[in-house]
Structure 1
Amino acid sequence: MGKRLNSKHKIDRRLGVNLWGRPKSPLNRREYGPGQHGQRRRKPSDFGTQLMAKQKLKGYYGNISEKAFRKYYEEAVRRRGDTSENLIAILETRLDAVVYRLKFVPTVFAARQVVNHGHVLVNGRRVTIPSFRVREGDVIEVKEKSRQMPLIIEAIQSPERDVASYFEVDHSGMKGTFLRLPKLEDVPYPVQMEPNLVVEFYSR
């Protein structure tokens, strides 16, 4: 677990932001990147700014693979409407992101693990794929046998985050409903996300 925690903190320091807004981020103590050259920060080029925006968004959702992330972008382009808004809506329908948003777990990495291990039901059926896409009206809940897990209980009781407005949640029953696709302004990112720059990056 220590290695995973360190790798998450490295993401924070590499990107220069407290990506998940967590109080234990090392960025709260030292605002520079990892490694011996971390303190040297040059003004990034346009390409560098776009790349950073992509890395930030990918990292926030648990370091999604480049292949998967590009697929999400291509789907966002095919949909009607604003591509950057579409991209955010797609990312927010991933089951691991939904479990994190419902405050059933403390981090998106924990959400991925909880889903992988079969602790989550969607519409009463067990789903073990973190990238599974949730639809409007779907009911997501913690399996009854898993409801005493300390990780889940502590996350629900934590005052660190609020549940996003596009969910209805009953924490006593450990159950939530995905109400609607969110817009960028609805998503409670602790740092500024710039999906428009991600779109620019891929459309170069």
Structure 2
Amino acid sequence: MSKRHSAKYKIDRRLGENLWGRPKSPVNKREYGPGQHGQRRKGKLSDFGLQLRAKQKLKGYYGDLSEKQFYKIYEEAVRMRGDTSEALIGLLESRLDAVVYRAKFVPTPFAARQFVNHGHVNVNGRRVTVPSFRCKPGDVIEVRQKSKEMTLVLESVGLAERDVPEYIEADHSKLVAKYVRVPGLGDVPYAVRMEPNLVVEFYSR
């Protein structure tokens, strides 16, 4: 098992939830955390504990972003008009790696980051290798011609475990997607309950 996969499954085990709704998640078999103390009975979480857990879930979901990266996105959300928690979700979903994942070109957010990094994606006809690149409504994201026959891509497109959300139009025959609009929390098909309002509370302390 690759380091990336083991890290992904460790996040699931640590949080006790199948974050991405994957059939192979170890949480489907063992709901307790990893390590020798994983089976200890969990006490009731404090308000701070609930907020921290909400942050870990959201940060982990998008490929386990670094604290610096995640806080930078939060700061940007604070500066935007309207609900900060909704803005936070909109900014996270506008990342190029998130759009590539949502379009089902790859099976996981971890694979999406690597896929973009390795130069397999064009945005509006230009090659982009930065996973955090901000997509705007109307942007066209396409798997590069030489990458369209990759096993990873062909298998992911055929996965029945998740659907492409309404804010993305995807043509899997051409491996092209259009980012239609910035979504709100209610639009995003999370496999578990996300609470960005608790993340805002965490950073507002």
Q: Shorter-chain TM-score: which interval?
A: over 0.9
After superposition, residues 147-158 of structure 1 pair within 5 angstroms as 147-158=148-159
Structure 2 residue 33 is matched with structure 1 residue 33:
yes
After superposition, residues 1-204 of structure 1 pair within 5 angstroms as 1-40=1-40, 41-204=42-205
Cα distance in structure 2, aligned partners of 1:43 and 1:36? 20
Q: Shift of residue 51 of structure 1?
A: 0.2
Unpaired runs of 5+ in structure 2?
Answer: none
Q: Shift of residue 104 of structure 1?
A: 0.1
Matching residue's letter, 2:101: Y
Cα distance in structure 2, aligned partners of 1:125 and 1:139? 10
Q: Shift of residue 3 of structure 1?
A: 2.4
Cα distance in structure 1, aligned partners of 2:177 and 2:95? 14
TM-score using structure 1 length? 0.99
Matching residue's letter, 1:113: Q
Cα distance in structure 2, aligned partners of 1:5 and 1:102? 21
Q: Shift of residue 89 of structure 1?
A: 0.1
Unpaired runs of 5+ in structure 1?
Answer: none
Contact 2:4 2:110 in 1 (8 A): no
SS in 2 for 1:169: strand
Cα distance in structure 1, aligned partners of 2:4 and 2:84? 32
SS in 1 for 2:63: coil
Per mean C-alpha deviation after superposition, the further-off stretch among 59-68 and 39-48 is 39-48
Identity among equivalent positions (%) equals 71
- RMSD between superposed Cα atoms in Å: 0.7
TM-score using structure 2 length? 0.98
Q: Deviations over 1:166-191 (max 9, x none)?
A: 01111100001000000100000000
Q: Shift of residue 145 of structure 1?
A: 0.8
Q: Shift of residue 2 of structure 1?
A: 2.5
Cα distance in structure 2, aligned partners of 1:64 and 1:158? 25
